[in-house]
């Protein structure tokens, strides 16, 4: 039997705008059989094949890679994922797992045009349970990060993971990429919040490791193996996440800073005063703010005058009687007197706090609107951040005249987004064409400082080159062996990592 959606395609155009020539031309007999079986296994709406419907699944958020999948699979449950992977493995057809498709490194789109199937987790979007006493939540992979945060908040708890794309990023992708974000400083990355996982392997085997334990030393920590594996070892279908108590007070401040060194000085002052209360400490360069003000003017600078550097920081506590505001004001007053900050605005309402964070969260989007950019998501030991920024700026000026270093990031944990933006009125394609060279130049500086060329975005398709060059043969060999043990035919998310 033919899947229903297929019949409606005969008079349309394919994704290249060419007349649809009929299934027999586009698909091999093997693929037709596979799609038939998948449609039967996944039920109504489980297989999408119309070109206009699959198009969004083939292009990454940054528009860097565009490879159309042959079809998009949308299982409703774990059994559906297992059935789909079993059928695809038997046919030798590669599968690309996809969540919100907000990867910065093209980690969730096909690596070859027309050769792979995308498996979207978006219909698996139930919050299965929240244990308010044990502070855990069990969620399916397709729940957006924001929906999970909201559910935790409604239960009086906090899911302490916050990233710019949280409205669309899904839990499965967040775990598979070990996302970091604004609260890593206080609560760690996604992997630090994972207590249990449910994963489907390439051959359809289901591993149910949805345990809620804080202590569990039974053999290898398998959940940690799948976290950050970018979907190359198995598809995460559900997770048990560690929650925190919801803070009773927050104080959020936007500061103007004279130098990067001063930003680290301010960081040390707050950490020294109350490390546990320091939930976020974010750096924004003057260049990043300028791009934001030009392309997203609604998000206005909350200070009188522009500065070469800014910090957005947040203190929070669950304590009822903690003098958090006094702490914030006292540290800022001392910092002002010492010339560590030149100005500061403390949010006076939840609306103001949201406005401060909106600036930070739209930096990537404003940069995307400004033209071609080369993203370098790097980390170095915190004390080396000033040197990193200075050396990267000097390199850019010498090797890519006119390009702007739109730097910002999670300075409190040494993770800076050293994003180079094309020269104003320059040629976007010409700048993008030199992207790999530029990345290599940045990576050379990062490696000299003992850092990582991929701090929180992963390797995806964009950084495979660096991965091959900058990680030792032994390290890559270990990863290859693990991959070969779990997915010997390498049909899960091919073209990523290696
Ligand atoms: C962010 O922190 O906003 C993103 O991870 C960074 C980026 O867009 O490079
Ligand atoms: Zn980031």
Question: What is the number of the ligand 1 atom nearest to the C-alpha of 367?
Answer: 8
> 46: domain CATH number?
3.30.43.10
Task: Provide the pLDDT for residue 3.
Answer: 29
Query: What average pLDDT score do residues 93-103 get?
Result: 97
7 within some domain = no
Task: Provide the pLDDT for residue 77.
Answer: 98
pLDDT averaged over the chain?
93
Task: Provide the pLDDT for residue 6.
Answer: 33
Rounded CA-CA distance 176/409 in Å is: 21
6 within some domain = no
Examine the domain organization and report whether 232 and 293 are in the same domain. Answer: no
> 279: domain CATH number?
3.30.70.2190
Examine the domain organization and report whether 377 and 354 are in the same domain. Answer: no
14 within some domain = no
Ligand nearest to the CA of 360: 1
pTM, two decimals, is 0.93
> Given 245, 272, 296, which residue is the final one in a domain?
245
Examine the domain organization and report whether 238 and 253 are in the same domain. Answer: no
Structure token pair of residue 465: 């080159």
Residues whose CB is less than 8 angstroms from the CB of residue 349 and which lie 6 or more positions away in sequence, other chains included: none
Examine the domain organization and report whether 239 and 132 are in the same domain. Answer: yes
- Tell whether ligand 1 has an atom less than 6 A from the beta carbon of residue 419: yes
Examine the domain organization and report whether 227 and 267 are in the same domain. Answer: no
Task: Provide the pLDDT for residue 9.
Answer: 37
Q: CB neighbours (10 Å) of residue 12?
A: 11
468 within some domain = no
- Tell whether ligand 1 has an atom less than 6 A from the beta carbon of residue 406: no
Task: Provide the pLDDT for residue 30.
Answer: 86
Question: 1 C-alpha to center of ligand 2: Å?
Answer: 47
Examine the domain organization and report whether 263 and 168 are in the same domain. Answer: no
> Given 200, 228, 245, which residue is the final one in a domain?
245
CA angle 137, 60, 464 (to 5 degrees): 90
Instruction: Give the chain's domain count.
Output: 4
- Tell whether ligand 1 has an atom less than 6 A from the beta carbon of residue 364: yes
Examine the domain organization and report whether 111 and 160 are in the same domain. Answer: no
Examine the domain organization and report whether 239 and 253 are in the same domain. Answer: no
With bands split at pLDDT 50, 70 and 90, how would you rate the model's confidence at 118?
A: very high
Using an 8 Å Cβ cutoff, are 233 and 482 in contact?
Answer: yes
Helix and strand totals (H; E) in the chain = 20, 19
Examine the domain organization and report whether 55 and 132 are in the same domain. Answer: no
Examine the domain organization and report whether 233 and 313 are in the same domain. Answer: no
Task: Provide the pLDDT for residue 55.
Answer: 95
With bands split at pLDDT 50, 70 and 90, how would you rate the model's confidence at 498?
A: confident
84 within some domain = yes
Task: Provide the pLDDT for residue 28.
Answer: 80
Give the gyration radius of the chain's Cα atoms: 24
> 452: domain CATH number?
3.30.70.2740
Structure token pair of residue 180: 């970091």
Rounded CA-CA distance 318/322 in Å is: 8
> Given 188, 214, 245, which residue is the final one in a domain?
245
Task: Provide the pLDDT for residue 26.
Answer: 54
Question: 195 C-alpha to center of ligand 2: Å?
Answer: 23
Examine the domain organization and report whether 329 and 264 are in the same domain. Answer: yes
The whole domain housing 338 covers: 249-363
> 136: domain CATH number?
3.30.465.10
Task: Give the 3-state secondary structure percentages of the chain, helix then strand then coil, rounded to 5.
Answer: 40, 20, 40
Q: CB neighbours (10 Å) of residue 468?
A: 13
160 within some domain = yes
226 within some domain = yes
Q: Is the pLDDT reported for residue 13 higher than 70?
A: no
495 within some domain = no
């Amino acid at each position: 039997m033919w899947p229903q959606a297929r019949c409606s395609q005969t008079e349309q155009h394919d994704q290249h705008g060419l007349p649809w020539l009929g299934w027999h031309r586009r698909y091999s007999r093997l693929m037709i059989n596979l799609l038939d079986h998948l449609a039967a296994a996944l039920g109504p709406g489980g297989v999408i094949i119309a070109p206009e419907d699959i198009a969004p699944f083939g292009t990454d958020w940054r528009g860097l890679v565009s490879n159309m999948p042959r079809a998009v699979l949308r299982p409703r449950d774990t059994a559906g994922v297992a059935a789909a992977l079993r059928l695809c493995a038997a046919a030798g057809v590669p599968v690309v797992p996809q969540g919100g498709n907000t990867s910065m490194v093209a980690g969730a789109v096909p690596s070859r045009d027309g050769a792979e199937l995308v498996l979207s987790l978006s219909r698996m979007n139930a919050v299965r349970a929240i244990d308010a006493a044990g502070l855990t939540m069990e969620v399916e992979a397709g729940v957006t990060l924001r929906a999970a945060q909201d559910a935790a908040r409604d239960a009086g708890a906090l899911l302490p993971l916050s990233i710019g794309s949280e409205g669309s990023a899904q839990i499965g992708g967040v775990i598979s990429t070990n996302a970091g974000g604004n609260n890593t400083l206080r609560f760690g990355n996604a992997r630090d919040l994972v207590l249990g996982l449910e994963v489907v392997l390439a051959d359809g085997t289901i591993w149910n490791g949805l345990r809620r334990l804080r202590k569990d030393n039974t053999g290898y920590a398998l959940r940690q193996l799948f976290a950050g594996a970018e979907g190359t070892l198995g598809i995460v279908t559900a997770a048990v996440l560690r929650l925190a108590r919801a803070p009773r007070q927050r104080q959020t401040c936007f500061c103007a800073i004279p130098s990067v060194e001063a930003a680290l000085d301010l960081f040390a002052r707050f950490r020294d005063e109350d490390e546990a209360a320091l939930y976020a400490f974010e750096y924004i360069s003057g260049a990043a703010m300028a791009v934001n003000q030009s392309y997203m003017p609604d998000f206005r600078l909350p200070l009188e005058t522009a500065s070469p550097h800014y910090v957005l920081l947040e203190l929070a506590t669950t304590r009822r009687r903690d003098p958090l505001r006094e702490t914030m004001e006292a540290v800022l007053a001392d910092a002002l007197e010492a010339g560590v900050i030149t100005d500061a605005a403390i949010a006076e309402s939840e609306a103001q706090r949201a406005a401060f964070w909106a600036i930070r969260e739209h930096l990537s989007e404003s940069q995307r609107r400004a033209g071609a950019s080369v993203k370098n998501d790097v980390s170095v030991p915190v004390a080396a951040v000033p040197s990193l920024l200075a050396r990267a700026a000097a390199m850019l000026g010498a090797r890519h005249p006119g390009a702007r270093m739109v730097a910002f990031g999670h300075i409190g944990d040494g993770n800076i987004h050293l994003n180079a933006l094309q020269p104003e009125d320059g040629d976007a394609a010409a700048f993008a064409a030199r992207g790999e060279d530029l990345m290599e130049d940045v990576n050379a500086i990062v490696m000299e400082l003992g850092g990582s060329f991929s701090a929180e975005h992963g390797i995806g398709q964009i950084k495979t080159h660096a991965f091959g060059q900058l990680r030792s043969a032994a390290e890559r060999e270990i990863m290859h062996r693990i991959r070969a043990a779990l997915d010997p035919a390498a049909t899960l998310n091919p073209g990523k990592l290696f």
